[in-house]
Amino acid sequence: MKKIGIVGGGQLGRMLTQAARPLGFYVSVLDPTPNGPAGLVADKQIVADFKDEASIEKLAGTVDFLTFEIELAAAGVLDKLQKSGVSVNPTGETLSIIKDKLKQKNFLRENKIPVADFVEVSNREDIERVAEILKYPIILKARFDAYDGRGNALIETRDDINDALEKLRGRKLYVEKFISFQKELAVVAVRGMDGTVVTYPTVETIHKNNICHIVVVPAPIDSKVSQAAHQLTKEILTHLGGAGVFGIEMFLTNDSEILINEIAPRVHNSGHHTIESSYTSQFEQHIRAITGMPLGDTNLKVKHAVMINILGNRTGPAKPTGVNEACSLRGVTVHIYGKIETRPERKMGHITAVAETAYDAMKLASHAREMITI
């Protein structure tokens, strides 16, 4: 039996493991939290930090294929392992480009991929100088370890600068121009070992507090916009190494231009719906891609789908209720991640509803979400 190692053991690792098992793979995960979401379903868990190079090397020594589900993974050791002959996908070099958001923006700009204007900063004086050029509002962003809005601070006037610096104190920073947009979009793409690239339909992502709350499938946009989004996605992948799933987040501006917001070199929240909506889920695709299997069909097998994240709203032990009631709704599937502790805005699970119309899918998903508490 072939073995897969995953650096990271959160919900993404859990769903990757659940996709790998029917294909006949043995799965080991590395995560600092004992019995985390992936650890509960994997064959083996190494309890260690994502940046623990010795533990990552230990994991690599026991598997045939190595991948990651979190950008916190140590890119340097993954690159070293790949150069020594370990099958690592996506590559450590790709991870090193993407995990540093300023490096990622420079990479996109150098390859003529459209992005919002940005400038590196380190203090208040830098921010004030940049604001004179970009004009308020601007967004102060952390370069590393920033996700679900935890690394962003909106600066609308000079009076907001100190609070923004306090929020992101001690972190390497850059400023980005605030973009007025019609919609936020995303495309999930997959590259196989043989270089084949396939993409899933463009989706709309609806955020609150910089956290994805709702994904609408397919995105209610003009076909030309969707085609442009897919072309940009494929262009980006020509510059990044390694097989696997990539999530590409975008802005559709008020001028109907597409700007790239962020890239994720892994399975992505905007693709969770694919478990129910698509012939091949993004999680199965990732397993297929990193193990050299042929890629599956990315077409939708339903007309419309809506995914809603189940976010925590308090701090304490997780006690999901209402799941059975929500599951009784036709067209609704509930995923609970098995996290022991809940926190405000922590991703605890998600709901996917499929239906004949976008309205019905949204109504179903919203109704199911109202039934569940964590």
**174: alpha, beta or left, given left = phi > 0 and alpha = psi -120 to 50?**
beta
pLDDT of res. 10: 97
Structure tokens, 202: 């463009």
Per-residue pLDDT of the chain (374 residues; tens, 9 = 90+): 899 999 999 999 999 999 999 999 999 999 999 999 999 999 999 999 999 999 999 999 999 999 999 999 999 999 999 999 999 999 999 999 999 999 999 999 999 999 999 999 999 999 999 999 999 999 999 999 877 667 899 999 999 999 999 999 999 999 999 999 999 999 999 999 999 999 999 999 999 888 899 999 999 999 999 999 999 999 999 999 999 999 999 999 999 999 999 999 999 999 999 999 999 999 999 999 999 999 999 999 999 999 999 999 999 999 999 999 999 999 999 999 999 999 999 999 999 999 999 999 999 999 999 999 99
Q: Which residues, in sequence order, are bridge partners of residue 305? A: 217, 354
Distance CA 272, CA 282 (A): 7
212 and 185 Cβ atoms separated by less than 8 Å: no
pLDDT of res. 230: 97
pLDDT of res. 148: 64
pLDDT of res. 145: 84
257 and 114 Cβ atoms separated by less than 8 Å: yes
355 and 52 Cβ atoms separated by less than 8 Å: no
Nearby residues of 139 by Cβ (< 8 Å), 6 or more positions away? 152, 153, 154, 155, 175, 176, 177, 178
pLDDT of res. 151: 87
Structure tokens, 160: 């907001």
Structure tokens, 103: 């490096």
CA atoms within 13 A on the CB side of 196: 16
Judge if the upstream peptide bond of residue 344 is cis by omega within 30 degrees of 0: no
Exposure string over 140-151, b if 16+ CB within 10 A, otherwise e: bbbbeebbbeeb
State the pairing for strand pair 3-7/26-31. parallel
Q: Domains of the chain (ranges plus CATH)?
A: 3-88 (3.40.50.20), 117-177 (3.30.1490.20), 181-371 (3.30.470.20)
Nearby residues of 342 by Cβ (< 8 Å), 6 or more positions away? 312, 313, 314, 315, 316, 317, 318, 348, 374
Nearby residues of 333 by Cβ (< 8 Å), 6 or more positions away? 275, 276, 327, 351, 352, 353
CA–CA–CA angle 338, 340, 346 (5° rounding): 80
Structure tokens, 55: 């533990």
189 and 205 Cβ atoms separated by less than 8 Å: no
pLDDT of res. 191: 98
pLDDT of res. 210: 83
